[in-house]
Structure 1
Amino acid sequence: MGLQDLLSTIEQYGYFALFFSLWIGIVGMPLPDEMIVMSGGFLSSLGKMSVLKAFVLTYLGAVSGLSLGFILGKVFGHKILDKLVKKNKAKYLLQSKELIDRYGHFALVISYFIPIVRHILPYLVGMNNMSFKKYALYYYTAGFVWTLLYFSLGLFFGEHIESISMFATKYGIYFGVFVGIVGCFYYFYTRKLKSVS
């Protein structure tokens, strides 16, 4: 499926095409998630969709799909990992484990900006019995920022969706690390302010 096919599908089926294309992304859509999100923003800029409805359904599609991964990891554990290894995702599995080892819970924030890793990490943390409340706090917040970023790019620079998507796929990890660092600074800064007052 190419960009034109995606845009036609979203135009034909509307908001729910945005939701479901991201929701089933957990099992592997042939298009990058970034491209799907930007398409929603682009079609909104053309007046074919309401900006608010398109954004909300895009966000809900992204976080519910990844929440499904978390639940599958909790319920099926190592069976999921075996399937990932068989699907030649071992490299991304190792990358996901390294992120968790290095950044702890903030790996959830960083991973959202790394294609494929963002889909694997929920399985891992679910399998390792992280509470859903903690998972949702980090992943839903990161998901909001990620969706807002790519939706806005589609809204304002929609004619460049393919170029932006290729760039995001290649360099997403750097942006993820940047967001993670800013998040850490913000967290510790607000804690320091609370302790002073």
Structure 2
Amino acid sequence: MTASVSDDLVGLLGDVGTIIFYLIVWGLVFAGTALFFGIFVPFVTGDSLLFAAGLIAASASGVDIWVLTIGVGIAAFLGDQVGFLLGRRFGRPYLDKRGGPRTQKAIAKTEWFYTTFGWWSVVIARFVPWGRVFIPVIAGVGRMAYLRFVTANLVGALAWGVGITLIGYFAASIPAVKAGSYVIAGIVITASIIAGIRAWRSDKAERAELAAHPVTPGAPTSEG
């Protein structure tokens, strides 16, 4: 089965071409934060994408792992820069328009995370699906010093983007763990897909409930 998965991945790479493969991976990493694409589909823009890309690079002779990882690092860095600038330009109302109640709760938690950890929150959030999406914007809203954000963003892009991609590559390159690496990748991707679908359905249900029973200003809530 492992050989079959590897053959399928390499076959897909042959169909789209190496350059297109690079662009797809880099584009998804960038869109995950810059375009809020990672809110409901973290499995497409997060850790599992990078790990799987590293696996493919190890299995396909046409993919240069260093070109891939450097591009991932740049895409991750630029994606967060865009999020930061959007937050600084449009302020808190920009976040208020994102998603339903569940998303707003995640934003509130991310704001607490940013207030608590400051510079380090930008680095750590790379490894947290929701934090990865919202921290750059929240840092911009909070008027974090630009150079402080740039340094934190750079460290995070290297640790997360470059680091996880290389882990996937070397996991597939070591014979002793090559077979298991595909199993691990499959489990991570499957779990991420399930989590993304559940998040999307939950947020959709909360939006429908809020539309059917809107809360008037000043009215008591179930959390009060």
Distance in structure 2 (CA, Å) of the matches to 1:17 and 1:10:
14
* Aligned with 2:144 (options 127, 130, 149): 130
Q: How does 1:2-13 map to 2 (within 5 A)?
A: 8=12, 12=16, 13=20
Distance 1:21 1:87 in 2: 25
**Equivalent residue runs for 1:67-146 within 5 Å:** 67-84=81-98, 86=100, 88-146=102-160
With over 3 angstroms needed to count, the CA separation of the structure-2 counterparts of 1:11 and 1:18, relative to structure 1, is farther
- 1:86-130 deviations in whole A, cap 9, x for unaligned? 373122212211212222221112211111211101111101111
When normalised by structure 2's length, the TM-score is: 0.65
TM-aligned CA distance change 1:76 to 1:11, over 3 Å: farther
1:16-58 C-alpha deviation (Å, 9 max, x unpaired): 1111111111221532411221122112101231011010111
Structure 2 partner of 1:38: 51
Change (3 A) 1:32 1:21: closer
Distance 1:97 1:116, change over 3 A: same
Report deviation, 1:131: 2.3
Q: CA deviation at 1:132?
A: 2.1
- The answer to whether residue 28 in structure 2 is matched with residue 14 in structure 1 is no
2:85 matched to 1:61?
no
Q: Secondary structure of the equivalent of 1:14?
A: helix
Paired residues, what number?
A: 166
Distance 1:86 1:9, change over 3 A: farther
For 2:123 and 2:24, locate their aligned partners in 1 and report how far apart those are by CA, in whole Å: 26
Please, what TM-score do these two structures have when normalized by structure 1?
0.73
User: 1:136-176 deviations in whole A, cap 9, x for unaligned?
Assistant: 1012102201123311232114513132456789xxxxxxx
Q: Does 1:28 align with 2:37?
A: yes
- What's the offset of the Cα at 1:84? 2.1
Q: Is the 8 A contact 2:96 2:104 kept in 1?
A: no
Which sections of structure 2, spanning at least 5 residues, go unmatched? Answer: 1-7, 173-180, 194-224
Take 1:9 and 1:65, find their aligned partners in 2: how far apart are those partners?
25
